[in-house]
Chain A
C-alpha cells in the first residue's frame, strides 16, 4: 500500500510574519471593539435598572457617568460602538461580494477609522450642546 510518511506541506503564513496592514488592523479592531461592547452592555443594563429603581439609584449612576473616569469610559464606548458599526457595514457589503478590490478595501479601511473617530466627535459635540435639553 501507499507509504504513510509525513509529507512536507507548505505552512500557512502566521500572523507574526506579516507586516502590519491597515486592513488587518481594522479586522483586529473589529473583534476587540465587539469584545469591549459585549461587556459594555453591563453599563446599559445598569443604567436601565437604575432608572427603574428610582431617583437615588439614578443619581448614583449619573455621578459615575459624569465623573472623569465615567466620561472616558463613555467616550471609549461611543467610539467602539461607531467603529464596530462601520466595520460591520463593511462586512455586510463584503457579504454581497463588493468591496474586495485592492483600492476599495484600503479605502474602506480608512473610511472605517476616519468615520468612527469623526462620528464619535460629532456625537460628543451634539451631546454637550444638548445636555439638559435644547437651549
Chain B
C-alpha cells in the first residue's frame, strides 16, 4: 500500500482533493466556461454587428428582447467566471509576495463580480424598460 501516496490518509486518497482541497474544480470550471464561451462569443459578435451605427431606441429594444438578453446574461456569467479564474492563475504565477498576492486575488474577485453585476443590472434595466 505504501506508494508515492504513503503519507496520506486513506480518506484523503479517496477524496482526491489534494493540498488545496478543491481537487480538479478550477481546471474543470475553466474548461466548462471555455466551452460555453465559444457559442456565446460567436452570438455576441453577431449581436454587436447588428447594432453598429443604430440609434438608442433600436439598441434598447434589441438588447432588451428576451433571446438577446438571455444570451448576453449567459455570456456575462460565463465570461466573468472564466476571466476570474484565468486572472487568478496569472496572479499566482507572477506575484510572489504573500501580501500583494492576497490583495491582487481579492481585487480580481471584486473586479469580476463588479463587471458581472453592473452588466447584468444594465441588461435587466433594458429588459424591463426602466
Q: Identify the A interface with B (CB < 8 A).
A: 31, 34-35, 37-38, 41-42, 44-45, 48-49, 51-52, 54-55, 58-59, 81, 85, 88-89, 91-92, 95, 123, 126-127, 130-133
Chain A to chain B contacts (Cβ below 8 Å), 15 pairs: A41-B80, A41-B115, A48-B123, A48-B126, A49-B122, A52-B122, A54-B56, A58-B59, A85-B41, A88-B34, A92-B31, A95-B31, A123-B49, A130-B49, A133-B50
> A132 to chain B: which residues have CB within 8 Å?
52-54
> B41 to chain A: which residues have CB within 8 Å?
81, 85
Q: Identify the B interface with A (CB < 8 A).
A: 31, 34-35, 37-38, 41, 45, 49-50, 52-57, 59-60, 63, 72, 76, 79-80, 83, 86-87, 90, 111, 115, 118-119, 121-123, 125-126
> B38 to chain A: which residues have CB within 8 Å?
85, 88-89
CB-based closest 9 A-B pairs: A48-B122, A132-B53, A131-B53, A52-B122, A52-B125, A55-B56, A58-B56, A49-B122, A38-B83
> B86 to chain A: which residues have CB within 8 Å?
34, 38
> B49 to chain A: which residues have CB within 8 Å?
123, 126-127, 130
CA distance A49 to B53 in the complex (A): 17
Say yes or no: A51-B118 contact (C-beta < 8 A), given A38-B83, A85-B38, A132-B54.
no
CA distance A92 to B63 in the complex (A): 31
Name the residue on A nearest B79 (C-beta): A41
CB–CB A51/B52 < 8 A: no
> A34 to chain B: which residues have CB within 8 Å?
83, 86-87, 90
Partner of A35, one of B45, B79, B90, B115: B90
> B54 to chain A: which residues have CB within 8 Å?
132-133
CB–CB B45/A123 < 8 A: yes
CA distance A37 to B83 in the complex (A): 8
CB–CB B79/A51 < 8 A: no
CB–CB A45/B122 < 8 A: yes
Minimum CB–CB distance for A93 against chain B, Å: 11
Partner of A51, one of B37, B59, B87: B59
CA distance A126 to B49 in the complex (A): 8
